[in-house]
């Protein structure tokens, strides 16, 4: 059955492609954050362990919302590491960095997700895709706040 939500298929495909890039970056950030949660050490262990858990738990819910929006637009959601590596803008970390480098890498990851989300806004806005705009706004707000909180840990 054909989808008729007031947005033509070509525009829905472009939005779904942008959301697929967002899904790839979000999943990579989820995996990185979870990895750092498991492997963080040092004097800030408890603070960072709990902060990273809060962030990866939120990301686990977010990737589902992003994938479901892609499906609602009528397209398959990417779901493999191969897809995510091809679509994403983030590289996975090498080895196990120290706590300060973990924080720095996560700031960059949070900001990368914001930029990817922001790149989809103009098209979603142009075609009146309010549900996608709402999702993008929420993602940008969350990741900007997370980046700020992480960045604050680096200040002396």
pLDDT tens digits for range 44-101: 999 999 999 999 999 999 999 999 999 999 999 999 999 999 999 998 888 999 999 9
Packing angle between helix 99-126 and helix 9-39, nearest 10 degrees?
170
CATH code of domain 9-154: 1.20.1260.10
Q: What burial class does residue 145 get, using C-beta atoms within 10 Å of its C-beta: 0-12 exposed, 13-18 middle, 19+ buried?
A: exposed
Q: For the residues of 106-125, what is the DSSP string, one character each?
A: HHHHHHHHHHHHHHHHHHHH
Q: What is the share, in percent, of the chain residues with pLDDT greater than 70?
A: 99
CA–CA dist 25, 128 (Å, integer): 24
Cα angle value 20/22/24 (rounded, 5°): 70
CA–CA dist 6, 74 (Å, integer): 13
**Element of type H or E holding 33:** helix 9-39
Region 106-135: mean pLDDT is 98
Question: What pLDDT is stored for residue 81 in this prediction?
Answer: 92
pLDDT tens digits for range 71-86: 999 999 999 999 999 9
Question: What pLDDT is stored for residue 54 in this prediction?
Answer: 97
Q: What burial class does residue 128 get, using C-beta atoms within 10 Å of its C-beta: 0-12 exposed, 13-18 middle, 19+ buried?
A: exposed
CA–CA dist 75, 10 (Å, integer): 11
How is the chain split into domains, by residue range?
9-154
């Amino acid at each position: 059955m054909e989808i008729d939500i007031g947005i033509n298929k070509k525009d829905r495909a472009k939005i779904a492609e942008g959301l697929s890039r967002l899904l790839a970056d979000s999943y990579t950030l989820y995996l990185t954050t979870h990895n750092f949660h498991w492997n963080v050490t040092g004097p800030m262990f408890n603070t960072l362990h709990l902060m990273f858990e809060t962030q990866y738990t939120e990301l686990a819910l977010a990737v589902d919302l992003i994938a479901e929006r892609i499906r609602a637009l009528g397209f398959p959601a990417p779901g493999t590491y191969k897809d995510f590596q091809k679509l994403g803008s983030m590289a996975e970390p090498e080895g196990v960095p120290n706590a300060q480098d973990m924080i720095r890498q996560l700031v960059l990851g949070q900001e990368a997700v914001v930029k990817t989300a922001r790149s989809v806004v103009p098209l979603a806005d142009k075609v009146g895709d309010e549900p996608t705009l709402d999702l993008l706004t929420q993602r940008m707000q969350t990741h900007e706040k997370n980046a700020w909180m992480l960045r604050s840990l680096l200040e002396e």
